[in-house]
Amino acid sequence: MLRLTLILPVLLLTLLVGNPAVSADFQKGLDAYGRGEFATALKEFRPLAKQGHAIALHNLGVMYAKGQGVPRNHKTAATWYARAAEKGDVSAQFSLGWMYDKGVGVPQNGKIAVKWYTLAAEQGYAIAQETLGAMYAFGRGVPKDYVKAYKWGELAAAKGYGRAARLRDMVAAMMTPSQVETAQDLARECVKKNYKGC
């Protein structure tokens, strides 16, 4: 029994020290990133990302997109963003949508951009809501639909996102009063559903 009580702590210590996921410290990575110490941030984020930590995955995407501590590589950034986006990281969903919208690091594809913008917008992310509204207003990746454009613009404007109010007002000028009323009703319903299925 005494032998087991000595072996168990040594075994646990060996596992903890040898396991990079346990050694990695997300806050330490964030602090290092904030100080511009990108090598340290990478050292902390990579093992966490390998374990599927969504924000660490997103942060690696940012670092590759900006060339912080690594050579700038938009294709690699898109890969990290995609992994984070699949885990529901709202910033990664928006960033990946933007990359598909603009064709940065991935082939330009409005339909895929709309998919990612929608996922972020349905989490209440105002910039994604406004951008999705613009996609509907201009028919990029989706058929032009002023009612949906107004709805998403209204939702983002209600959160104080200034550009969204301009978008909403621009499309309102091209809509009938009945369409505006429908869009306002849809926006209210969307808020009641906490943006899910909007």
Average pLDDT of the chain, as a whole number: 90
Q: State the pTM of this model.
A: 0.85
CA–CA distance, 168 with 106 (Å, rounded to integer):
30
Q: Is residue 13 part of a domain?
A: no
Same domain, 99 and 147: no
pLDDT tens track for 122-158? 999 999 999 999 999 999 999 999 999 999 999 999 9
Same domain, 134 and 190: yes
Structural domain boundaries, residue 60? 20-108
Domain end marker among 108, 124, 159: 108
Same domain, 99 and 136: no
CA–CA distance, 23 with 8 (Å, rounded to integer):
19
Domain end marker among 108, 133, 158: 108
The tally of domains found in the chain comes to 2
CATH assignment at residue 49: 1.25.40.10
Q: Is residue 2 part of a domain?
A: no
List all residues 6 or more positions away from 50 whose beta carbon is below 8 Å from its beta carbon: 20, 21
Within the chain, how many helices (H) and strands (E) appear? Answer: 12, 0
Q: At 24, is the pLDDT very low, low, confident or very high (cuts 50, 70, 90)?
A: low
pLDDT tens track for 50-87? 999 999 999 999 999 999 999 999 999 999 999 999 99
The CA–CA distances, whole Å, from 163 to 128, 157, 159 equal 12, 8, 11
Same domain, 47 and 88: yes
Domain end marker among 62, 87, 108: 108
